[in-house]
Amino acid sequence: MTPAVDEVRSLYLHIPFCERKCEYCDFTSVAGATGSAAYMEALNEEVRHLGTCLGRLTLDTVFIGGGTPSLVEPELLARLVAVVHDTFSVTADAEVTMEANPSSISAARARVWKAAGVNRVSIGVQSLEADALHFLGRVHDADRALAAVDDVREAGFTSINCDLIYAVPGLGDVRWRRTLERVAAARPTHISCYELTVEPGTPLHTRVTRGQVTPVDGARAMRQHRIALEVLGLAGYDQYEVSNFALSGEECRHNLVYWRNGYYAAAGVGAHGHLPADAAAAIGLDVEAGAVSVRHWHGRGIAAYARAVRAGAFPITGSEPVGPAMREQERVMLGLRLREGVRLGAASLDEAHSLEGLGLLAVDGDRVRATERGEALLNQVTLRLVGDWAA
């Protein structure tokens, strides 16, 4: 059945300003907040334009990411949230998340976010070890990171995530464990642990290619992932996705939409969205015959973004139609990241049982989930289960 516009119940908004550019970062972001007021006005305009084209969608989740949203003036963020409420029907219990970095968090700023309707803050802690923070190019220290958790709590937030990074060169297992223990002791409701990856075009990539930095090898990275499972498990956090841990009932609903291969609208420079075919057509995207949905992305230049929005256009620079076979492969690949696993069609179950025999999958009826070994080989496992749509 063709998915309908009203299956879009999530919205991603991108704010590209950061205090400085981190060494490993390939997100759409720039150093400094110059021009942020004009940018936020353009973003408001694009949100209104989405509402005009898609209608008054009912939203269960809104995610304001970046970049560093906490860096822009809190009143500008409050205005953005107000525009979202004016434009769409945000449910009473919607999850409204905002990303924030320790250096631009204070209880006073957080109170403005809270009053505006943000109800979940995701803090870029990354590490509590000074040399790792320095290596990553972060501007805060451990004390500020932990104080930031207190600040948002003091402002009334009860849903708080801390992002952490492991496999940082020079950061051994003992100190990684210590960071996990200290962050867990601060009792955020959610902790994400991501492996440091070396992305082309980043300063870190340059240092690696020049031989100035040696990336952490796969065995150590896997060991540090296991340390996270152990420490956070003991502290009461459930691993509900490969890299994400939550206290009971505190899973990130917005990110679950991604992993369950759901739909989401997007606005802002560099933002990616995924819309059913009719919704994609409604915002002016070309939709190939037979496409179920369309993934699309905005350009990365802030000035060009603002110009396009002022001219009444969506600053979307690329899109990819998703046909039924690709959609099925994406559904399985993303679903295998989740502890809850994913349902398989009858045609894939024999293969699932043989992968279970290899210790890569756990099969329960028609539902499968990746084992720890399977998590490390997700692409290959997915290919075995549902083939390659491009083949």
Contact set with ligand SF4 (CB under 6 A): 18, 21-22, 25, 27, 29, 66-68, 101, 124
Query: For residues 25 and 59, which CB has a smaller minimum distance to ligand SF4 in the complex?
Result: 25
Q: What are phi and psi of 156, to 5 degrees?
A: 110, 0
H-helix segments, 235-316: 253-259, 277-282, 302-310
In the complex with ligand SF4, which residue's Cβ is closer, 21 or 85? 21
**Smallest gap, in angstroms, from Cβ of residue 13 to ligand SF4?**
14
Closest approach of ligand SF4 to the CB of residue 20, in Å: 7
Pairing of β 238-241 and β 244-246: antiparallel
Q: Where are the alpha helices (DSSP H) in the chain?
A: 36-54, 74-87, 107-116, 130-136, 142-154, 173-185, 203-209, 218-234, 253-259, 277-282, 302-310, 324-335, 346-357, 372-375, 378-386
Strand partners, 193: 164
Judged by CB, which is closer to ligand SF4: 183, or 368?
183
At 270, which helix (H) or strand (E)? none
Strands 244-246 and 190-195: antiparallel
| Nearest distance from C-beta of residue 202 to ligand SF4, angstroms | 9
Contact assessment for residue 169 and residue 220, using Cβ atoms and an 8 Å cutoff:
no
Of residues 28 and 179, the one with the C-beta less far from ligand SF4 = 28
Collapsing DSSP states into helix, strand and coil, what is residue 255? helix
Upstream peptide bond of 273 is cis (omega within 30 degrees of 0): no
| Rounded least distance, CB 131 to ligand SF4, Å | 17
| 168 neighbors 133 (Cβ within 8 angstroms) | no
Give the residue among 267, 316, 274 at the shortest CA–CA distance from 88. 267
What is the dihedral angle through the alpha carbons of 233, 238, 239, 240, rounded to the nearest 10 degrees?
A: 170
CB of residue 193 to ligand SF4, shortest distance in Å: 15
Cβ within 8 Å of residue 371, ≥6 positions away:
359, 360, 361, 362
Q: How far is the CB of 356 from ligand SF4 (least distance, A)?
A: 38
CB 24, min distance to ligand SF4, A: 7
Pick the closer one to ligand SF4 by CB: 252 or 342: 252
CB of 45 to ligand SF4, least distance (A): 23
Within 8 A by CB and 6+ apart from 285, the residues are 275, 294, 296, 316, 319
- Which lies closer to ligand SF4 via its Cβ, residue 121 or residue 291? 121
